[in-house]
Amino acid sequence: MGLQTNDEGVRLREVKESDLPIFFEQRLDPAANYMAAFTSKDPSDKAAFLTHWKNILSNRDIQKMTILCNGCVAGSILKFEQFGNPEVSYWIGKQFWGKGIATCALLHFLPEIKIRPLYARAAKDNFASIRVLEKCGFERCDEDKGYSHARGKEVEEFILKLES
């Protein structure tokens, strides 16, 4: 996957191993974990995080990019299989929220993902993520629920679908 840029300084590039400690720090934030809901059991377990990401890096079936904003690592975006469907997911470091970065990153990422329909999941109260997905053309198509480690209880989510 090549480099992409937009007018606001948001760019996607290949993930480097040196990005992983930054992703780890970004995924420690309690508010972000609450929002995302379906997170790892212990976000502070750095060894588990690094092992998980090294597996992602070596898995050719997972498309993954680092999101840069004005040259800084702002987050990550991935496409993977879950429950038999291709899904996208993303995470933006909290200091970068509210600047349109997730929307911009997803708009750059989608043309690289050729498969349709493409799915995404978001906790029903993750309004920012639902908004990002809907701005990029995803539509709510179903719902599900699952155990959220971040909230310590079952949480309802929307499944969104991009048809074309």
Ligand X SMILES: CC(C)(COP(=O)(O)OP(=O)(O)OC[C@H]1O[C@@H](n2cnc3c(N)ncnc32)[C@H](O)[C@@H]1OP(=O)(O)O)[C@@H](O)C(=O)NCCC(=O)NCCS
Closest CB to ligand X among residues 30, 60: 30
How many whole angstroms separate alpha carbon 135 and alpha carbon 113?
17
Rule CB under 6 A: say whether 69 interacts with ligand X. Answer: no
Nearest-approach distance from CB 136 to ligand X, in angstroms = 9
Query: Contact at 8 Å (CB) between 149 and 39?
Result: yes
Nearest-approach distance from CB 150 to ligand X, in angstroms = 10
Task: Please name the helix (run of DSSP H) or strand (run of DSSP E) that holds residue 52, with its range, or none.
Answer: helix 46-58
Nearest-approach distance from CB 26 to ligand X, in angstroms = 8
Q: Could you give the string, one character per residue 96-125, with x where binding to ligand X holds by CB under 6 A and - elsewhere?
A: -xxxxxxx------------------x---
Query: Which of 92, 118, 150, 160 lies at the binding interface for ligand X (CB under 6 A)?
Result: 92
In order, the DSSP letters of 56-123 are HHH-TTSEEEEEEETTEEEEEEEEEEETTEEEEEEEE-GGGTTSSHHHHHHHHHGGG---SSEEEEEE
Rule CB under 6 A: say whether 127 interacts with ligand X. Answer: yes
Rule CB under 6 A: say whether 36 interacts with ligand X. Answer: yes
Nearest-approach distance from CB 18 to ligand X, in angstroms = 20
Rule CB under 6 A: say whether 35 interacts with ligand X. Answer: yes
Side-chain-side CA neighbours of residue 123 (13 Å): 20
Query: Contact at 8 Å (CB) between 88 and 77?
Result: yes
- Which residues contact ligand X by CB under 6 A? 32, 35-36, 89-92, 97-103, 122, 126-129, 131-132
